[in-house]
Amino acid sequence: MPSSRVSIVRTPKSPSRKEIEGAIRKAIDLIGGLDDIISRKDLVLINPSWVAPPTDPQSAVITSPEVTRAVADIIRDFGARPIIAESSAVGVDTEKVRANSAYGEMRSEGYEVINLKSTSKVTVEIEGGEVLKKVETFELVTRADIIISVPKMKTHDQTELTCSLKKLKGLVSDEQKRWMHKTGVFKGVVDINMLLKPRLSIVDAILCQEGLGPIFGHPVEMNLIVAGKDLVAVDSICGQIMGYEPEEVLITKFAAERGLGVMDNKMIELAGEPLENVRRRFMRSVEDDPVEVDGFSLLFGGITCTGCRNTVMSALIDMRNAGHLKYLPGVTVITGDPDIPKAVPGDEIVAVGQCVPKGKRGKRFVRGCPPNNAYVVDAIIGGREKVRRMYAEKSLEETEE
Ligand code: SF4
Protein backbone atom coordinates (compact mmCIF):
# COMPACT_ATOMS: atom_id res chain seq x y z
CA MET A 1 0.00 0.00 0.00
CA PRO A 2 1.73 3.26 -1.11
CA SER A 3 2.32 5.73 1.70
CA SER A 4 4.15 8.52 -0.13
CA ARG A 5 3.49 10.28 -3.39
CA VAL A 6 6.17 11.64 -5.72
CA SER A 7 5.44 13.60 -8.89
CA ILE A 8 7.56 13.83 -12.03
CA VAL A 9 6.71 16.62 -14.46
CA ARG A 10 8.41 17.34 -17.77
CA THR A 11 9.38 20.86 -18.77
CA PRO A 12 10.01 21.94 -22.35
CA LYS A 13 13.63 22.04 -23.53
CA SER A 14 15.37 25.20 -22.18
CA PRO A 15 12.16 26.23 -20.40
CA SER A 16 11.19 29.85 -19.84
CA ARG A 17 10.61 31.21 -16.34
CA LYS A 18 6.85 30.88 -16.88
CA GLU A 19 7.17 27.28 -18.08
CA ILE A 20 9.30 26.37 -15.04
CA GLU A 21 6.75 27.88 -12.69
CA GLY A 22 3.95 26.02 -14.51
CA ALA A 23 5.80 22.70 -14.13
CA ILE A 24 6.43 23.29 -10.41
CA ARG A 25 2.79 24.25 -9.78
CA LYS A 26 1.70 21.07 -11.56
CA ALA A 27 4.20 18.95 -9.60
CA ILE A 28 2.87 20.37 -6.31
CA ASP A 29 -0.77 19.82 -7.37
CA LEU A 30 0.03 16.19 -8.19
CA ILE A 31 1.26 15.58 -4.63
CA GLY A 32 -1.87 17.11 -3.11
CA GLY A 33 -0.99 20.83 -2.79
CA LEU A 34 0.44 22.66 0.19
CA ASP A 35 -2.51 22.90 2.61
CA ASP A 36 -1.42 19.96 4.74
CA ILE A 37 2.13 21.24 5.31
CA ILE A 38 2.06 25.05 5.26
CA SER A 39 -0.15 27.55 7.07
CA ARG A 40 -0.67 31.08 5.87
CA LYS A 41 1.83 33.45 7.52
CA ASP A 42 4.37 30.65 8.09
CA LEU A 43 8.04 31.53 7.72
CA VAL A 44 9.14 29.17 4.94
CA LEU A 45 12.86 28.61 4.46
CA ILE A 46 13.67 27.62 0.89
CA ASN A 47 17.09 25.94 0.66
CA PRO A 48 18.59 25.79 -2.86
CA SER A 49 22.12 24.56 -3.63
CA TRP A 50 24.85 27.20 -3.84
CA VAL A 51 27.59 24.67 -3.19
CA ALA A 52 30.41 26.50 -5.00
CA PRO A 53 31.31 28.29 -8.23
CA PRO A 54 31.01 28.09 -11.19
CA THR A 55 27.61 29.79 -11.08
CA ASP A 56 26.79 30.04 -14.78
CA PRO A 57 23.61 28.09 -15.62
CA GLN A 58 25.32 25.83 -18.17
CA SER A 59 27.70 24.37 -15.59
CA ALA A 60 24.67 22.94 -13.68
CA VAL A 61 26.35 23.32 -10.28
CA ILE A 62 23.85 25.43 -8.35
CA THR A 63 20.05 25.19 -8.25
CA SER A 64 18.56 27.19 -11.09
CA PRO A 65 17.53 30.63 -9.76
CA GLU A 66 14.34 30.35 -11.86
CA VAL A 67 13.34 27.18 -10.00
CA THR A 68 13.98 28.80 -6.61
CA ARG A 69 12.22 32.00 -7.65
CA ALA A 70 9.15 30.02 -8.77
CA VAL A 71 9.04 28.13 -5.45
CA ALA A 72 9.23 31.47 -3.58
CA ASP A 73 6.43 32.93 -5.74
CA ILE A 74 4.21 29.91 -5.06
CA ILE A 75 4.82 30.19 -1.30
CA ARG A 76 4.12 33.92 -1.38
CA ASP A 77 0.90 33.40 -3.40
CA PHE A 78 -0.12 30.85 -0.78
CA GLY A 79 0.07 33.59 1.85
CA ALA A 80 3.25 32.52 3.65
CA ARG A 81 6.62 34.32 3.85
CA PRO A 82 9.39 32.74 1.73
CA ILE A 83 13.05 33.23 2.64
CA ILE A 84 15.75 31.82 0.36
CA ALA A 85 18.77 30.83 2.46
CA GLU A 86 21.90 28.73 2.00
CA SER A 87 25.54 28.34 3.00
CA SER A 88 28.04 27.06 0.41
CA ALA A 89 30.60 24.27 0.86
CA VAL A 90 33.36 24.53 3.49
CA GLY A 91 35.65 27.46 2.76
CA VAL A 92 33.61 28.84 -0.16
CA ASP A 93 32.54 32.48 0.04
CA THR A 94 28.73 32.18 -0.17
CA GLU A 95 28.33 35.88 -0.86
CA LYS A 96 30.39 35.58 -4.04
CA VAL A 97 28.37 32.58 -5.21
CA ARG A 98 25.15 34.54 -4.61
CA ALA A 99 26.37 37.78 -6.14
CA ASN A 100 27.92 36.14 -9.23
CA SER A 101 24.74 34.24 -10.11
CA ALA A 102 21.21 35.37 -10.96
CA TYR A 103 20.48 35.12 -7.20
CA GLY A 104 22.39 38.42 -7.03
CA GLU A 105 19.48 40.25 -8.68
CA MET A 106 16.73 38.74 -6.59
CA ARG A 107 17.01 41.06 -3.59
CA SER A 108 16.26 44.07 -5.79
CA GLU A 109 13.23 42.16 -7.11
CA GLY A 110 11.84 41.98 -3.56
CA TYR A 111 12.92 38.47 -2.51
CA GLU A 112 14.59 37.79 0.83
CA VAL A 113 17.85 36.05 -0.09
CA ILE A 114 20.19 35.22 2.78
CA ASN A 115 23.83 34.13 2.93
CA LEU A 116 23.59 32.00 6.07
CA LYS A 117 27.34 32.20 6.73
CA SER A 118 26.83 35.90 7.56
CA THR A 119 24.09 35.19 10.14
CA SER A 120 24.16 34.11 13.80
CA LYS A 121 24.83 30.50 14.66
CA VAL A 122 23.19 28.39 17.31
CA THR A 123 23.82 24.89 18.65
CA VAL A 124 20.82 22.57 18.88
CA GLU A 125 20.59 19.07 20.38
CA ILE A 126 19.42 16.24 18.12
CA GLU A 127 17.16 13.86 19.95
CA GLY A 128 17.95 10.36 18.72
CA GLY A 129 20.92 11.55 16.64
CA GLU A 130 23.12 8.58 15.72
CA VAL A 131 26.46 10.26 15.01
CA LEU A 132 25.51 13.86 15.85
CA LYS A 133 24.09 14.48 19.29
CA LYS A 134 24.00 18.21 18.59
CA VAL A 135 24.50 20.38 15.56
CA GLU A 136 25.68 23.92 14.90
CA THR A 137 23.12 25.51 12.61
CA PHE A 138 21.87 29.07 12.08
CA GLU A 139 19.39 30.97 14.19
CA LEU A 140 17.26 31.70 11.10
CA VAL A 141 16.96 27.97 10.38
CA THR A 142 15.58 27.32 13.85
CA ARG A 143 13.01 30.11 13.42
CA ALA A 144 11.59 28.69 10.18
CA ASP A 145 8.17 27.04 10.45
CA ILE A 146 8.76 24.97 7.32
CA ILE A 147 11.89 23.99 5.39
CA ILE A 148 11.76 23.21 1.68
CA SER A 149 14.72 21.48 0.06
CA VAL A 150 15.34 22.66 -3.51
CA PRO A 151 18.31 20.60 -4.73
CA LYS A 152 19.79 20.15 -8.16
CA MET A 153 19.95 16.56 -9.39
CA LYS A 154 23.68 15.68 -9.56
CA THR A 155 26.10 12.85 -9.03
CA HIS A 156 28.47 13.24 -6.08
CA ASP A 157 32.03 12.02 -5.65
CA GLN A 158 31.43 10.80 -2.09
CA THR A 159 27.75 9.97 -1.80
CA GLU A 160 26.88 8.72 -5.35
CA LEU A 161 24.29 11.45 -5.75
CA THR A 162 23.20 14.62 -4.04
CA CYS A 163 19.52 15.42 -3.79
CA SER A 164 16.88 16.44 -1.22
CA LEU A 165 18.38 14.90 1.95
CA LYS A 166 22.04 15.82 1.30
CA LYS A 167 21.01 19.36 0.36
CA LEU A 168 20.18 20.14 3.99
CA LYS A 169 23.90 20.10 4.83
CA GLY A 170 23.78 23.67 3.53
CA LEU A 171 21.87 24.58 6.70
CA VAL A 172 24.74 23.85 9.12
CA SER A 173 27.91 25.80 9.83
CA ASP A 174 31.27 25.13 8.15
CA GLU A 175 32.63 23.81 11.46
CA GLN A 176 29.77 21.32 11.57
CA LYS A 177 30.27 20.30 7.94
CA ARG A 178 33.97 19.60 8.66
CA TRP A 179 33.13 17.64 11.77
CA MET A 180 30.58 15.51 9.92
CA HIS A 181 33.21 14.24 7.53
CA LYS A 182 35.07 12.88 10.54
CA THR A 183 32.02 11.30 12.20
CA GLY A 184 30.43 9.98 9.00
CA VAL A 185 28.67 12.12 6.43
CA PHE A 186 25.97 9.56 5.51
CA LYS A 187 24.53 9.17 8.99
CA GLY A 188 25.30 12.80 9.83
CA VAL A 189 23.06 13.97 6.97
CA VAL A 190 20.30 11.69 8.25
CA ASP A 191 20.70 13.19 11.76
CA ILE A 192 20.38 16.71 10.32
CA ASN A 193 17.20 15.71 8.50
CA MET A 194 15.83 14.20 11.70
CA LEU A 195 16.36 17.53 13.43
CA LEU A 196 15.19 19.90 10.70
CA LYS A 197 12.27 17.81 9.41
CA PRO A 198 11.97 19.30 5.91
CA ARG A 199 8.39 18.97 4.67
CA LEU A 200 8.77 19.33 0.93
CA SER A 201 11.32 18.83 -1.83
CA ILE A 202 11.21 20.40 -5.27
CA VAL A 203 14.08 18.97 -7.32
CA ASP A 204 15.62 21.01 -10.11
CA ALA A 205 16.18 18.20 -12.61
CA ILE A 206 16.11 20.46 -15.66
CA LEU A 207 19.84 20.71 -16.39
CA CYS A 208 21.57 18.15 -14.15
CA GLN A 209 25.16 17.00 -13.63
CA GLU A 210 26.82 13.59 -14.13
CA GLY A 211 30.37 12.32 -13.64
CA LEU A 212 32.56 14.20 -11.23
CA GLY A 213 29.73 16.03 -9.45
CA PRO A 214 28.72 17.97 -7.51
CA ILE A 215 30.94 20.66 -9.06
CA PHE A 216 33.20 19.34 -11.80
CA GLY A 217 30.85 17.01 -13.67
CA HIS A 218 29.17 17.32 -17.05
CA PRO A 219 25.76 18.90 -17.70
CA VAL A 220 22.89 16.56 -18.63
CA GLU A 221 19.61 17.84 -19.98
CA MET A 222 16.72 16.03 -18.28
CA ASN A 223 14.01 18.73 -18.34
CA LEU A 224 12.20 17.45 -15.26
CA ILE A 225 10.82 18.70 -11.98
CA VAL A 226 10.43 16.07 -9.24
CA ALA A 227 8.43 16.85 -6.08
CA GLY A 228 7.31 15.12 -2.91
CA LYS A 229 6.69 15.59 0.80
CA ASP A 230 8.64 12.45 1.76
CA LEU A 231 12.26 13.35 0.96
CA VAL A 232 13.44 9.74 1.17
CA ALA A 233 10.89 8.75 -1.48
CA VAL A 234 11.90 11.72 -3.64
CA ASP A 235 15.59 10.77 -3.42
CA SER A 236 14.82 7.12 -4.11
CA ILE A 237 12.93 8.09 -7.28
CA CYS A 238 15.57 10.63 -8.35
CA GLY A 239 18.26 7.98 -7.85
CA GLN A 240 16.30 5.55 -9.99
CA ILE A 241 15.90 8.19 -12.70
CA MET A 242 19.73 8.47 -12.64
CA GLY A 243 20.17 4.69 -12.78
CA TYR A 244 20.83 3.84 -9.11
CA GLU A 245 19.05 1.23 -7.03
CA PRO A 246 17.71 2.92 -3.86
CA GLU A 247 19.97 0.88 -1.52
CA GLU A 248 23.09 1.86 -3.48
CA VAL A 249 22.69 5.40 -2.19
CA LEU A 250 23.58 5.13 1.47
CA ILE A 251 21.99 8.39 2.60
CA THR A 252 18.65 7.26 1.13
CA LYS A 253 19.07 3.78 2.65
CA PHE A 254 20.00 5.00 6.13
CA ALA A 255 17.22 7.60 6.10
CA ALA A 256 14.66 4.90 5.21
CA GLU A 257 16.03 2.61 7.95
CA ARG A 258 15.66 5.43 10.48
CA GLY A 259 12.01 5.89 9.50
CA LEU A 260 12.38 9.27 7.82
CA GLY A 261 10.46 8.04 4.78
CA VAL A 262 10.16 5.18 2.33
CA MET A 263 12.45 4.15 -0.53
CA ASP A 264 10.69 1.01 -1.77
CA ASN A 265 8.70 1.58 -4.98
CA LYS A 266 5.87 -0.54 -3.57
CA MET A 267 5.40 2.19 -0.96
CA ILE A 268 5.63 5.10 -3.40
CA GLU A 269 2.78 6.32 -5.57
CA LEU A 270 4.14 8.01 -8.67
CA ALA A 271 2.20 10.79 -10.37
CA GLY A 272 2.93 12.45 -13.70
CA GLU A 273 5.55 10.94 -16.00
CA PRO A 274 6.14 7.18 -15.64
CA LEU A 275 9.59 6.36 -14.26
CA GLU A 276 10.57 4.21 -17.23
CA ASN A 277 10.00 7.16 -19.60
CA VAL A 278 12.51 9.42 -17.84
CA ARG A 279 15.34 7.10 -16.75
CA ARG A 280 18.83 7.83 -18.02
CA ARG A 281 21.94 6.26 -16.51
CA PHE A 282 24.21 9.03 -15.20
CA MET A 283 27.97 8.60 -15.48
CA ARG A 284 29.27 7.72 -12.00
CA SER A 285 31.85 9.93 -10.39
CA VAL A 286 34.42 7.09 -10.48
CA GLU A 287 33.93 6.70 -14.23
CA ASP A 288 35.01 10.30 -14.84
CA ASP A 289 38.61 11.46 -14.87
CA PRO A 290 39.16 15.04 -15.94
CA VAL A 291 42.91 15.04 -15.27
CA GLU A 292 44.84 11.91 -16.19
CA VAL A 293 48.60 12.40 -16.25
CA ASP A 294 51.23 9.64 -16.14
CA GLY A 295 53.31 9.82 -12.98
CA PHE A 296 50.74 11.87 -11.06
CA SER A 297 48.72 10.38 -8.16
CA LEU A 298 45.88 11.64 -6.06
CA LEU A 299 45.11 10.03 -2.69
CA PHE A 300 41.90 11.16 -0.99
CA GLY A 301 41.99 9.79 2.58
CA GLY A 302 38.67 8.52 3.96
CA ILE A 303 37.94 11.59 6.07
CA THR A 304 38.37 14.04 3.18
CA CYS A 305 35.32 16.30 2.92
CA THR A 306 33.91 18.36 0.05
CA GLY A 307 36.20 21.24 1.05
CA CYS A 308 39.50 19.55 0.17
CA ARG A 309 38.05 17.53 -2.73
CA ASN A 310 36.76 20.77 -4.22
CA THR A 311 40.09 22.50 -3.60
CA VAL A 312 42.18 19.77 -5.20
CA MET A 313 39.91 19.26 -8.20
CA SER A 314 39.70 23.03 -8.82
CA ALA A 315 43.48 23.23 -8.60
CA LEU A 316 43.90 20.46 -11.19
CA ILE A 317 41.31 21.93 -13.52
CA ASP A 318 42.92 25.39 -13.17
CA MET A 319 46.27 23.79 -14.07
CA ARG A 320 44.75 22.02 -17.07
CA ASN A 321 43.14 25.26 -18.28
CA ALA A 322 46.40 27.14 -17.82
CA GLY A 323 48.46 24.49 -19.65
CA HIS A 324 50.32 23.56 -16.44
CA LEU A 325 49.75 19.80 -16.39
CA LYS A 326 53.43 19.37 -17.30
CA TYR A 327 54.22 20.05 -13.63
CA LEU A 328 52.19 17.05 -12.39
CA PRO A 329 54.47 14.04 -13.15
CA GLY A 330 56.35 13.09 -10.00
CA VAL A 331 53.72 14.58 -7.69
CA THR A 332 51.38 12.77 -5.27
CA VAL A 333 48.67 14.98 -3.79
CA ILE A 334 47.20 13.71 -0.53
CA THR A 335 44.27 14.88 1.62
CA GLY A 336 42.72 13.55 4.83
CA ASP A 337 44.65 10.65 6.31
CA PRO A 338 45.41 8.26 3.43
CA ASP A 339 47.62 5.20 3.36
CA ILE A 340 50.68 6.33 1.41
CA PRO A 341 52.49 3.57 -0.52
CA LYS A 342 56.06 3.14 0.78
CA ALA A 343 57.43 3.63 -2.76
CA VAL A 344 56.32 7.28 -2.84
CA PRO A 345 59.28 9.53 -1.89
CA GLY A 346 58.46 12.13 0.77
CA ASP A 347 59.55 15.06 -1.43
CA GLU A 348 56.96 14.09 -4.09
CA ILE A 349 54.08 14.53 -1.65
CA VAL A 350 51.94 17.66 -1.66
CA ALA A 351 49.79 17.38 1.49
CA VAL A 352 46.60 19.42 1.41
CA GLY A 353 44.61 20.53 4.46
CA GLN A 354 44.88 20.30 8.18
CA CYS A 355 43.35 16.81 8.34
CA VAL A 356 46.64 15.39 7.07
CA PRO A 357 48.43 14.17 10.21
CA LYS A 358 51.66 16.05 11.02
CA GLY A 359 53.78 12.94 10.38
CA LYS A 360 52.53 12.71 6.77
CA ARG A 361 52.73 16.37 5.76
CA GLY A 362 56.33 16.61 4.54
CA LYS A 363 57.84 19.83 3.21
CA ARG A 364 55.15 20.68 0.67
CA PHE A 365 52.25 21.05 3.10
CA VAL A 366 49.41 23.39 2.11
CA ARG A 367 47.75 24.58 5.29
CA GLY A 368 44.10 25.57 5.64
CA CYS A 369 40.71 23.99 6.08
CA PRO A 370 40.31 23.90 3.19
CA PRO A 371 43.25 25.67 1.59
CA ASN A 372 42.64 27.83 -1.47
CA ASN A 373 43.25 26.02 -4.75
CA ALA A 374 45.81 28.62 -5.79
CA TYR A 375 48.08 27.55 -2.90
CA VAL A 376 47.78 23.92 -3.97
CA VAL A 377 48.82 24.87 -7.51
CA ASP A 378 51.69 26.88 -6.02
CA ALA A 379 52.86 23.92 -3.95
CA ILE A 380 52.77 21.68 -7.03
CA ILE A 381 54.60 23.98 -9.43
CA GLY A 382 56.89 25.56 -6.83
CA GLY A 383 56.27 29.21 -7.74
CA ARG A 384 57.37 28.79 -11.38
CA GLU A 385 54.04 30.18 -12.59
CA LYS A 386 51.87 32.96 -11.22
CA VAL A 387 48.52 31.73 -9.86
CA ARG A 388 45.37 33.65 -8.98
CA ARG A 389 43.23 33.17 -5.84
CA MET A 390 39.45 33.00 -6.39
CA TYR A 391 36.44 32.66 -4.09
CA ALA A 392 38.51 31.95 -0.96
CA GLU A 393 37.49 33.60 2.27
CA LYS A 394 41.06 34.07 3.56
CA SER A 395 44.49 34.91 2.19
CA LEU A 396 47.38 32.54 2.89
CA GLU A 397 48.66 34.95 5.54
CA GLU A 398 45.29 34.82 7.31
CA THR A 399 45.04 31.05 7.04
CA GLU A 400 45.55 29.21 10.31
CA GLU A 401 47.26 25.89 10.44
S1 SF4 B 1 41.20 19.99 6.05
FE2 SF4 B 1 40.08 19.53 4.22
S3 SF4 B 1 39.26 17.47 4.53
FE4 SF4 B 1 39.83 18.30 6.52
S5 SF4 B 1 37.93 19.22 7.31
FE6 SF4 B 1 39.14 20.84 6.32
S7 SF4 B 1 38.33 20.93 4.26
FE8 SF4 B 1 37.66 18.96 5.11
Q: Which domain holds residue 323?
A: 290-381
309 CB near ligand 1 (under 6 Å): no
If asked whether residues 59 and 189 sit together in one domain, one would say yes
How close is the Cα of 60 to the center of ligand 1, in Å?
A: 24
How close is the Cα of 149 to the center of ligand 1, in Å?
A: 25
pLDDT in 10s for each residue of the chain, 401 residues: 778 999 999 999 999 999 999 999 999 999 999 999 999 999 999 999 999 988 899 999 999 999 999 999 999 999 999 999 999 998 899 999 999 999 999 999 999 999 999 999 999 999 999 999 999 999 999 999 999 999 999 999 888 999 999 999 999 999 999 888 777 789 999 999 999 999 999 999 999 999 989 998 999 999 999 999 999 999 999 999 999 999 999 999 999 999 999 999 999 999 999 999 999 999 998 788 767 899 999 999 988 887 788 789 888 988 888 889 999 999 999 999 999 999 999 899 999 999 999 999 989 999 988 888 888 999 999 877 776 655 444 544 454 44
If asked whether residues 83 and 223 sit together in one domain, one would say yes
If asked whether residues 321 and 269 sit together in one domain, one would say no
If asked whether residues 21 and 163 sit together in one domain, one would say yes
How close is the Cα of 34 to the center of ligand 1, in Å?
A: 39
Closest CA to 63 of 93, 98, 37: 98
If asked whether residues 181 and 152 sit together in one domain, one would say yes
Check which CATH number belongs to the domain holding 167 and give it: 3.40.50.11440
If asked whether residues 281 and 295 sit together in one domain, one would say no
If asked whether residues 191 and 268 sit together in one domain, one would say yes
How close is the Cα of 202 to the center of ligand 1, in Å?
A: 30
Q: Indicate which residue's Cα is closest to atom 6 of ligand 1.
A: 369
If asked whether residues 197 and 84 sit together in one domain, one would say yes
Substitution site in 304, 334, 361 for ligand 1 pocket (most atoms within 8 Å of beta carbon): 304
Asked if residue 5 lies in contact with residue 228, where contact means CB atoms within 8 angstroms, the answer is yes
306 CB near ligand 1 (under 6 Å): no
Which of 285, 307, 322 corresponds to the end of one domain?
A: 285
Instruction: Tell me, yes or no, whether 329 lies in a domain.
Output: yes
Number of domains in the chain: 2
Q: Exposed, middle or buried, 31 (CB in 10 Å: 0-12/13-18/19+)?
A: buried
SS3 state at 87: coil
310 CB near ligand 1 (under 6 Å): no
Residues 6+ apart with CB under 8 A from 329: 293, 294, 295, 296
Q: Exposed, middle or buried, 107 (CB in 10 Å: 0-12/13-18/19+)?
A: middle
The pTM of this model reads 0.85
Instruction: Tell me, yes or no, whether 387 lies in a domain.
Output: no
Cis peptide before 54 (omega within 30 of 0): yes
If asked whether residues 78 and 185 sit together in one domain, one would say yes
**Euclidean distance between CA atoms 372 and 41, whole angstroms:** 42
Instruction: Tell me, yes or no, whether 400 lies in a domain.
Output: no
Looking at residue 397, its amino acid is E
Rounded to a whole number of angstroms, the distance between the first and last alpha carbons of the chain is 55
Asked if residue 328 lies in contact with residue 381, where contact means CB atoms within 8 angstroms, the answer is no
Say how many C-beta atoms besides its own lie within 10 A of residue 388's C-beta: 10
**Euclidean distance between CA atoms 401 and 389, whole angstroms:** 18
